[in-house]
Amino acid sequence: MTKPTMEDVARTAGLSRALVSLVMRGSDKVSDSSRERVLAAAAELGYRPNLAARHLASKRSLTIGLVLNDLHNPFFPEVADGVHAAATEAGYHVLMNSGFLRGALEREAVESFIDLGVDGVLLAGARIGSSDLEHLASRVPITVIGRHLRSTAVDTVNNDDLAGGRLATEHLIGLGHRRIVHIDGGQGAGSSQRRSGYSAAMRDHELEPEVISAQFTEEAGLRAGRRLAGRPRPPEAIFVANDLAAVGVLGALADHGLRVPDDLSVVGYDNTSLAGIHHISLTSVDQDRQTMGRLAVEVLLERIGGGRRGAVHHVIAPSLVRRSTSAPR
């Protein structure tokens, strides 16, 4: 029941421990015959290297930590897919953790990863304060996905939320709507940029922007939606800062007997699996999460490996996916 160690493998193979170590790490400075003996012995004993020991002795762990801000938002699992795929291809393991929508927990998650000795950390939808972030980044390479930072210490991968906010808003304006309200994502990642894009587009068309503060959750969307639906004169269209909240908004509107898109149009953001569900069929701004995940891994490994000096900030273009919740006035 006690696990075999390298020593055991060396003994049953009749070779030295160092030899076994070389073989386990796939070195080519080992004779074929030795390698086979080692492998055979390892298989026979069911040997597996102890990662804690390996991390302690070497500097690298070939592991990256991925912190997802909210497991309940389909956006994050989709990013995780891209991250996993890219990391695995590069020979890295990934360990995950959730920030449960709270900056403090997010921070803790990153710290545990550091304590564990991961080679780098990926933060998706970071809510953590940017000074904290800078500080953490001095201890481990960090790449942030989905949040805009001007940092020189942290790399970022984003979609252009400003452009995305514009895209959504102009789509609605193009459909002939004028009283368009934005339900924002509060402290959520990308929220302020989307809001700015919305406001800019509104002003460009000499329309008055109106923002209702909410969050990136279904519940928050529901509440905000109720407020709007309860008005004597509801808006003609709503641009919601993400799909999850948009689903809440749709529910609130339906509760109040407002028909979408007949009575008003709704546009979301993220184009998650939720938006594609037949019964929801939400018009939404798409950001390619798979690509963002992959890109983030690339950038992170670059920094881990090469020791790049400056930070890199990738921005990918969003696109609008039209579905059934938006229609001409």
Partner DNA sequence: GTGAAAGCGCTAACAG
Partner DNA sequence: CTGTTAGCGCTTTCAC
Shortest Cβ 143–DNA spacing (Å): 24
**Which amino acid is residue 320, in one-letter code?**
L
- DSSP state, 139? T
Tokens of 194: 């989307």
Number of helical H runs and strand E runs in the chain: 13, 12
Residue 119 φ then ψ, to 5°: -80, -20
Contacting range for DNA; rule: CB under 7 A; set: 32-40, 187-195, 247-255, 260-268? 32-40
Shortest Cβ 6–DNA spacing (Å): 3
240 in Cβ contact with 172 (< 8 Å): no
Shortest Cβ 116–DNA spacing (Å): 12
Write out the residues near a copy of itself by the rule CB under 8 A. Answer: 1, 3, 48-53, 55-56, 61, 71-72, 74, 76-78, 80-81, 84, 93-98, 100, 111-112, 114-117, 138-139, 218, 247, 250-251, 254-255, 273, 277-280
Tokens of 329: 């006035």
- Residue 69 host element (H or E): none
- Residue 66 host element (H or E): strand 63-68
Shortest Cβ 289–a copy of itself spacing (Å): 12
Contacting range for DNA; rule: CB under 7 A; set: 53-61, 169-177, 178-186, 212-220? 53-61
Return the number of the residue (41 or 275) whose C-beta is nearest DNA.
41
**Can residue 3 be called a binding residue for DNA (CB under 7 A)?**
yes
Shortest Cβ 108–DNA spacing (Å): 18
Tokens of 22: 């070389």
From the number of C-beta atoms within 10 Å of its C-beta (0-12, 13-18, 19+), residue 17 rates as middle
From the number of C-beta atoms within 10 Å of its C-beta (0-12, 13-18, 19+), residue 172 rates as buried
152 binds, among DNA, a copy of itself, none (CB under 5 to 8 A by kind): none
Return the number of the residue (28 or 206) whose C-beta is nearest DNA.
28
**Can residue 62 be called a binding residue for DNA (CB under 7 A)?**
no
Tell which phi-psi region holds residue 49, choosing left (phi > 0), alpha (psi between -120 and 50) or beta: beta
Contacting range for DNA; rule: CB under 7 A; set: 28-36, 101-109, 172-180, 275-283? 28-36
Write out the residues near DNA by the rule CB under 7 A: 2-3, 5-7, 15-19, 21-22, 24-25, 29-34, 47, 49-50, 53-54, 56-59
